[in-house]
């Protein structure tokens, strides 16, 4: 019974099997024990078999990398593909036009190796329709509500003030913000949506070729 109340207990190093004393509370927090920093590095440098989160392909990965990120991807393309799809599912509660949803699908297909952020607020603390972190490039699709008082002048003023704050926030973070006037599209059609896709891809391709 007395052993239960001991502060230190004897454990074995998982690398070299050397016995040493370790605080009981520390054992509860970290059940895997190392006798030295050298053994810790040896353990973390070992590779284990994992499965790609996106394509389920099996490959090896260092244990140290698993500690940094629980999700494993066999390639950058798979990582971006998963993140893009995952971001698509994070749009609950946001009002998105059919044009935005269609453009998102096209961009993911056209640029599988590029990571896109769709309708996220974490970059400038305000929602950006499309943002490409690697290029420091963002796009905003502004419909008729950004230009005409459909819901009254007060609502229009609020919308335009928010647009100005968003533009200034991008400037401060050295993000190039491209504002696209989509007010001419009264209802969604792929044929009338393609010109907007051409504008976006044109800017992206120009950035990629710089």
In a domain, 75, yes or no: no
| Residue numbers of the domain that contains 202 | 90-208
Query: What stretch of H or E contains 61?
Result: strand 58-62
Helix (H, G, I), strand (E, B) or coil at 100: helix
Indicate if 26 and 120 belong to the same structural domain.
no
Output the pLDDT for position 198: 96
When pLDDT is cut at 50, 70 and 90, the band that residue 53 belongs to is confident
Residue carrying the six token digits 């009338």:
192
In a domain, 163, yes or no: yes
Indicate if 32 and 112 belong to the same structural domain.
no
When pLDDT is cut at 50, 70 and 90, the band that residue 137 belongs to is very high
Is the pLDDT score of 83 beyond 70?
no
Number of domains in the chain: 2
Indicate if 32 and 100 belong to the same structural domain.
no
| Mean confidence (pLDDT) of the chain | 83
Indicate if 30 and 107 belong to the same structural domain.
no
Distances (CA, A) of 76 to 66, 107, 119: 16, 17, 22
Indicate if 201 and 138 belong to the same structural domain.
yes
When pLDDT is cut at 50, 70 and 90, the band that residue 79 belongs to is confident
CATH number of the domain encompassing residue 138? 3.40.960.10
Output the pLDDT for position 2: 47
Indicate if 125 and 27 belong to the same structural domain.
no
Determine how β-strand 176-181 pairs with β-strand 137-142.
Answer: parallel
For residues 159-175, average pLDDT: 94
Is residue 55 a contact partner of residue 40, using CB atoms and an 8 Å limit? no
In a domain, 52, yes or no: no
Indicate if 15 and 103 belong to the same structural domain.
no
In a domain, 40, yes or no: yes
In a domain, 70, yes or no: no
In a domain, 67, yes or no: no
DSSP state of 146: G
∠ CA 173-180-126, nearest 5°, is 40
């Amino acid at each position: 019974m007395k052993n239960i109340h001991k502060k230190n207990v004897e454990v074995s190093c998982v690398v070299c099997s050397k016995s040493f004393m370790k605080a009981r509370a520390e054992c509860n927090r970290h059940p895997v024990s190392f006798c030295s920093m050298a053994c810790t590095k040896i353990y973390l440098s070992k590779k284990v078999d994992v499965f790609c989160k996106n394509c389920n392909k099996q490959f090896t990965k260092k244990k140290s990398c698993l500690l940094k990120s629980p999700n494993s991807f066999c390639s950058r393309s798979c990582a971006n593909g998963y993140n893009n799809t995952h971001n698509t599912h994070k749009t609950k509660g946001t009002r998105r036009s059919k044009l935005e949803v269609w453009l998102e699908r096209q961009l993911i297909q056209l640029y599988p190796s590029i990571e896109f952020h769709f309708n996220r607020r974490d970059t400038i603390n305000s929602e950006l329709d499309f943002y490409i972190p690697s290029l420091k490039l963002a796009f905003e699709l502004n419909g008729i509500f950004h230009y005409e008082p459909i819901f009254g002048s007060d609502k229009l003023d609020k919308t335009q003030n928010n647009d100005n704050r968003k533009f200034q926030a991008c400037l401060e973070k050295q993000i190039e913000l491209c504002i696209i006037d989509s007010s001419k599209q009264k209802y969604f059609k792929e044929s009338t949506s393609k010109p907007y896709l051409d504008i976006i891809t044109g800017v992206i391709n120009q950035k990629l070729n710089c």
